[in-house]
């Protein structure tokens, strides 16, 4: 592997080995997409001022493990920032100084080096705007969501990706028991097979969201998550001697074709082409193996063949409604579903557990599906029924377009 030379001399001090083993903090994977909009100057000023105030006050079949030395090839460092980012002195915020203290005390980072690093970070207002929840009142619409992903351009790109990486997909299916169409569906939904992996410096977006997350009901937990991922990024960069600002990703800090957060690269990233590196941006093999590894580690059952979800009819007496409140897990026996008036075409294997899934269609009738463990494994990638079903249907469409 060609050595990567730090862009800034101070970072060589900050990221020198501390002489102790480093453990990555564990956080759930958050699905993200590349930012495509810029916030107005007015909203940027307001959001930045709000973030500064809050941060300063401190509110702020076989399970096969294919691992390597876990080296992520860094994306080329940009000579100039080509996105809407504003230089801001993060060191003015008490929460940032506390974070530097923690990284210095707990992980042995050089304080002056970290201060230099955060002195170069950019405030990304578009990230703040994009993580805000959608305005209330708009009904969920599965068909509208589906149409964004099951469409000709993405299907054609999926066929090319599958044809070009058929060997790696077959190896992943053999090693992990995750079908090729599911892996293809996830990478297609996430980034259109690497077309939209994001051009933000991960350190900029994570610093922004860790210390200036917008006011939402879950603000504290989200700030804690992004702060943990910021720490994971610094630990990862030091461990593998990477220039931290060379890591590029989405507006929320996710990296590569499968959009893994830094912590998940450490936990689930796979060197699937055997070159001694984990490169989720440039290596389809590594992206394929890493997606399969993530799913198998989150409950994918290779013994369950066939589609993870089956269409269902529900009785008008609505005795099945309480079954919708079971969370993102398969907990129901087939006889429980039948007793509540849920009927599928054909028999469900008696030894499996299932969940009842509702896909709302706005003013149109809701679709109901019975889903097994593998459907809910996909929801661990993104906690959404719509997401999991779009992955399944995109993969199925790509497989059909290839001729099976």
Active site residue ranges = 190
Round to whole Å and give the CA distance between 157 and 145: 19
Burial per residue of 278-298, b for 16 or more beta-carbon CB atoms within 10 angstroms, e otherwise: bbbbebbbbbbbbbbbbbbbb
User: Which pair of tokens denotes residue 68?
Assistant: 């390597």
Q: What is the DSSP secondary-structure string of 17-71?
A: --SS---PPP--------------HHHHHHHHHHHHHHHHHT----------S--
Place of tokens 């460092």: 77
The answer for residues whose C-beta is within 8 angstroms of residue 335's C-beta and 6 or more apart is: none
- Asked whether 264 and 29 are in contact (CB, 8 A), the reply is yes
3-state secondary structure of 282: coil
Which helix (DSSP H) or strand (DSSP E) does residue 181 occupy?
A: helix 180-191
For residue 88, how far is the Cα from the chain centroid?
27
- Work out the angle at residue 160's Cα, subtended by the Cα atoms of residues 154 and 161, and round it to the nearest 5 degrees: 85
The answer for residues whose C-beta is within 8 angstroms of residue 164's C-beta and 6 or more apart is: 284
The answer for residues whose C-beta is within 8 angstroms of residue 135's C-beta and 6 or more apart is: none
- Asked whether 348 and 310 are in contact (CB, 8 A), the reply is yes
How many Cβ atoms from other residues are within 10 Å of residue 347's Cβ?
7
Find the distance separating the first CA and the last CA of the chain, reported in whole Å: 38
């Amino acid at each position: 592997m060609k050595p990567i030379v730090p862009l800034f001399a101070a970072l060589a001090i900050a990221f020198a080995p501390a002489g102790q083993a480093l453990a990555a903090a564990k956080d759930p994977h958050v699905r993200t997409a590349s930012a495509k909009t810029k916030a107005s100057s007015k909203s940027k000023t307001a959001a930045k001022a709000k973030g500064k105030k809050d941060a300063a006050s401190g509110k702020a079949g076989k399970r096969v493990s294919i691992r390597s030395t876990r080296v992520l090839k860094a994306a080329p460092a940009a000579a100039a920032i080509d996105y809407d980012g504003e230089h801001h002195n993060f060191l003015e915020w008490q929460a940032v100084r506390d974070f530097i203290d923690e990284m210095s005390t707990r992980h042995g980072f050089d304080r002056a080096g970290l201060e230099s690093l955060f002195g170069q970070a950019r405030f990304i207002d578009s990230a703040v705007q994009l993580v805000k929840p959608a305005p209330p009142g708009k009904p969920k619409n599965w068909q509208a969501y589906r149409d964004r992903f099951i469409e000709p351009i993405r299907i054609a790109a999926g066929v090319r990706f599958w044809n070009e990486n058929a060997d790696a997909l077959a190896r992943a299916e053999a090693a992990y028991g995750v079908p090729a169409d599911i892996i293809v569906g996830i990478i297609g939904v996430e980034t259109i097979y690497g077309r939209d992996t994001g051009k933000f410096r991960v350190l900029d977006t994570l610093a922004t969201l860790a210390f200036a997350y917008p006011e939402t009901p879950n603000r504290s937990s989200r700030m804690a998550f992004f702060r943990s991922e910021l720490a994971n990024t610094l630990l990862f960069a030091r461990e593998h001697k990477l220039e931290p600002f060379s890591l590029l990703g989405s507006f929320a800090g996710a990296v590569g074709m499968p959009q893994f957060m830094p912590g998940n690269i450490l936990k689930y990233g796979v060197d699937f082409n055997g070159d001694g590196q984990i490169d989720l941006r440039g290596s389809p093999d590594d992206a394929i193996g890493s997606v399969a590894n993530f799913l198998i580690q989150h409950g994918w059952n290779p013994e369950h063949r066939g589609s993870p979800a089956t269409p269902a009819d529900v009785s008008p007496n609505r005795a099945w409604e309480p079954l919708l409140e079971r969370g993102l897990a398969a907990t129901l026996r087939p006889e429980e579903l039948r007793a509540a008036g849920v009927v599928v075409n054909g028999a469900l294997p008696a030894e499996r557990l299932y969940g009842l899934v509702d896909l709302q269609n706005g003013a149109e009738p809701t679709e109901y599906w019975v889903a097994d463990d593998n459907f809910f494994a996909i929801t661990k990638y993104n906690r959404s029924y719509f997401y999991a079903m779009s992955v399944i249907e995109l993969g199925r469409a790509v497989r059909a377009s290839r001729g099976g």
